[in-house]
Structure 1
């Protein structure tokens, strides 16, 4: 507890920090009420709580639900806190990060190239395999005509969106025993304008490993997102509405392997302000299969990272204060490095 407390940064003068909070259904001036955004599940209330917590810490927070506001309204801020992860383009999180880089705006999360790596689940798979992390076999399908050729591995299959956040495109139809079923599931995703990643289905349960950015990353306890769907998978509707929540997960002696994965990923892709490593874990065999890593993951009070942090004595406000201060420190270190190189 003491060691972790020493790693957490505390805002010394939050009133001096101007935050630009960006989200699709962010609370807006003048009343900053919970946004009305049909079809966005629990996200408007979640963004409203994040906004209020940042304000309660003492930060000066302005908000927007428009990415173009980065060009017109964000020039007098100290940090962009963007949770804008869904818009009518591929990889919106990369767009926001790259725009901030172009405008020299400090931003929560990580550099655009690392955001791009995390957003492309196929690139992620190949990247972490090079680090020695266990992944399932996979194949990408960009066009319907590509489905004439089955993947070079046998089923059962798991069909999902190659890009996208919040489990977009994942349903119980994602699990298919044979290629005929997998093709039909892929065609449904193509009809929604999605590129497709087909993987060998990994049996077990979903577990996630939250990590807090620091000079030495803080690796928290495993958490299991609850599911009542086939295969205990996390579907798009569960992620959007989050009716079942999360629970701490005890993997026993296997936890050390998860923590080693996090250290390897951090060494290759860090620094990152906060993230989650998602897995399938077979309790019977002890086999873990890495799925993806999620930068700027859900940081609500009932979410995985806050639940795991609470076991270490940290509140949501503690986490958000640390994340803001660490992001600012990370940015200014990079600025000083560029000055030195010049």
Structure 2
């Protein structure tokens, strides 16, 4: 008997289109011999829609979800990745793929993530938490990176190299979130590590991936085809171990489940954590599937592992 899987995409945030691509890829790649896929979409307006994109609302979606064995949320960003969909599944008693409410909320909040990983000895970029009120008093003294605290896909991220660029960067980030991080520029190689909690409970880190880009790895570079993803990254044994250890420690400290992508700068002093993504891009060509493919785990096999390891 096939497992009935609800794949949820879309969402009420700026990552809506990215989520649709991830959800469509997941739905298409789940083995039809083992899974009966039920697509559900959350519109930009917050309205849930069925397979035919007919509006069914939350009550209609709840009926559909109750008829499924597992929920596979692929909603990036706020009102999805931040624990919101995990909370819905928890309250409804539905098994679901991925991290729970607390790790989703913590990892989505870049400031909270910094506090958690710093407490276990993982380095992060020195930075300030800025709000709409305090932004007016912030003075530029050196190059910084400005980013929303809880937005993904590198949206609203700016490299500020001059005093006159600070205010526009803050405005762009504050348009997406009421809190903003202003961090020192870290010089290093940008390396991603994917960590998976398998169905049997073991933790596995995939070969690291290096992002090579001319300038800032912003939204345009990420989705415009201007970045060069190199997997496995060229690392010596000590570098690879330091990155894997830090990634697994961050995953564990936040309480993640399923798969998460942990992003670092690799500096001369070791790894510096950038952020943790509990619902990373999940098309076959996204970073996480590429990393596990390099380890010999195909995209359909990765999805199968995630479904079998769903919260029960």
Q: In the alignment, which of 132, 136, 154 is matched to residue 148 of structure 1?
A: 136
Once the 2 structures are TM-superposed, how far is the Cα of residue 247 of structure 1 from its aligned partner? 1.4
| Post-superposition CA distance 1:291-339 (Å, at most 9, x none) | 1111121232222222222222211011111111011xxx23xxxxxxx
Q: In the alignment, which of 64, 67, 79 is matched to residue 40 of structure 2?
A: 64
Once the 2 structures are TM-superposed, how far is the Cα of residue 155 of structure 1 from its aligned partner? 2.7
Q: Please say which of residues 295-304 and 44-53 is displaced more in the overlay.
A: 44-53
Equivalences for residues 1-342 of structure 1 within 5 A: 15-24=1-10, 44-56=20-32, 58-66=34-42, 67=48, 68=58, 70-86=61-77, 90-93=78-81, 94-143=83-132, 145-150=133-138, 155-170=142-157, 174-178=158-162, 180-192=164-176, 194-214=178-198, 215-228=201-214, 230=215, 233-242=216-225, 244=227, 246-248=229-231, 249-252=233-236, 253-282=238-267, 285-327=268-310, 331-332=311-312
Once the 2 structures are TM-superposed, how far is the Cα of residue 55 of structure 1 from its aligned partner? 4.2
Alpha carbons of structure 1 residues 41 and 81: separation in structure 2 relative to 1, 3 Å = closer
CA distance in 2, matches of 1:40, 1:243: 21
| Post-superposition CA distance 1:233-271 (Å, at most 9, x none) | 321123344454521112212111111112322332335
Check conservation: 2:194, 2:205, Cα contact below 8 A.
Answer: yes
CA distance in 2, matches of 1:219, 1:160: 27
Residue segments in structure 1 that go unaligned for 5+ positions in a row: 1-14, 26-38, 333-342
Alpha carbons of structure 1 residues 78 and 179: separation in structure 2 relative to 1, 3 Å = farther
SS for the counterpart of 2:295 is coil
Return the structure number with greater strand share: 2
| Post-superposition CA distance 1:60-79 (Å, at most 9, x none) | 11111125354242111111
TM-score of the superposed pair, with normalisation by structure 2: 0.83
CA distance in 1, matches of 2:88, 2:20: 24
SS for the counterpart of 1:301 is coil
Check conservation: 1:154, 1:200, Cα contact below 8 A.
Answer: no
- Structure 1 ranges of 4+ moved more than 4 A: 39-46
Residue segments in structure 2 that go unaligned for 5+ positions in a row: 43-47, 49-57
Alpha carbons of structure 1 residues 297 and 142: separation in structure 2 relative to 1, 3 Å = same
Return the structure number with greater helix share: 1
Alpha carbons of structure 1 residues 49 and 96: separation in structure 2 relative to 1, 3 Å = same
SS for the counterpart of 2:25 is helix
TM-score of the superposed pair, with normalisation by structure 1: 0.77
Task: Quote the RMSD (CA, aligned, Å).
Answer: 2.5
Alpha carbons of structure 1 residues 276 and 191: separation in structure 2 relative to 1, 3 Å = closer
SS for the counterpart of 1:246 is strand
Alpha carbons of structure 1 residues 307 and 17: separation in structure 2 relative to 1, 3 Å = same
Once the 2 structures are TM-superposed, how far is the Cα of residue 125 of structure 1 from its aligned partner? 0.6
Count of residue pairs brought into register by the alignment? 289
